[in-house]
Structure 1
Amino acid sequence: MSIKNNKKTYLKTGMKIGAFATAISAVTKLPMNKVSRSMGLGLVAAFGAATLISAPAHAISESSVQAYAAAMNQAANSQNIGQISRLISDEVIVSLTRNGKTANLDKNGYLQLLQTSWSKSDNYRYDIRISDVVITGNQARAQVVTTETWTENGKPVKLITTSRATLSESGSNAVLLRSVSQVTIN
């Protein structure tokens, strides 16, 4: 979980605790008999406990990772930038290395790179293979190999990217969180 997500979690929890404390304070100040006040406090406490107990982070599964691969394959082959955007975390960091030079891209940079590449190519095809999936809590680390082929200026181009990727569960879908990639162009 990123620092940004931790801050959000702590802020939300703090707000819940504050609301809970305010509700208890309000109930104790109401003009009621002891039984009503106790029942009111009991209801507030039950509601507060239910609110404060957060559901555990969605555990990611291997089937979620494979569904991610299928969705990414379909989105890339149809050049659907909106769908690809939904498959990538807003906090993503993609590190691409080619010929000893490394570029670190955020979500917007990665999406712009894809769109620029697509605009310069014909007959674009994308294939993704995921293996060696290791799941820890709500994250999965996997070996990812993508093969992209297209025609540029009448010449066939083949780009193979080997990555170590981290995916996390977002709602009911897996999204790319981190990727460290080695790029080879044939």
Structure 2
Amino acid sequence: MKLKQTLCLALLLAGAVTGCSDPKAATAKNFETAINAMLDKTPGCVWVANGGLPVKVYLTGSNLPYQKEQDAKALKGPEAYVRLGLLKEGKPPYKNGEGLLVKEFELTEAGQKAYRADHGMMGPFNSFCYGTAQVAKMGDITEPTARVDGVTVATAEVDIKFGKPAAWVNDPELQQQLKQRDLHVFKEGDTVHRKITLEKTLDGWVAKPGM
């Protein structure tokens, strides 16, 4: 009888441990792990250019003052990243089928470490990520529900704290360009509040980018 009770207790405890460590369970701990995994891939980032790699800039190649000014403006961003050591000039400029001059830029070794490709609904876009971020505090989480496509989703409100940014993002000229494009650069210790969507997969919960 005693052996039977011991066996039942062992099975009960095993079930409890399994339940606690189940990555598919809708727990604050699992959601925090999923959100931190997302933040490891897409921390504080600044946009580079649409269209994937290599970064392509389309120029008129004209000597007319207005068009020449527009070409210089188009090159300003990529050339700043060249100066900061994240991009380098690619193959010689060439004309495309529309008669535009195409200038390509490739990633340097430092650029490869900072680069992230986020494939969203608007297609791929290139970002250089300059810092680290992690969940500072978990807030309210919703009960998981099934969408019309059958995917189970939940949302979590979180406070996200940013770590020390890379030195290149503090470059005054780059800061000015980012400000003109309304791109905010997070500083060390900055905290933001976000509502994050999470999707349940075969392996557990996955947080979806949307910062």
Q: Same fold (TM over 0.5)?
A: no
Higher relative contact order (CA 8 A, sep 6+): 2
- Please state which structure has a larger fraction of its residues in helix: 1
> TM range, normalised to the smaller chain?
0.3 to 0.5
TM-score (norm. length: structure 2): 0.33
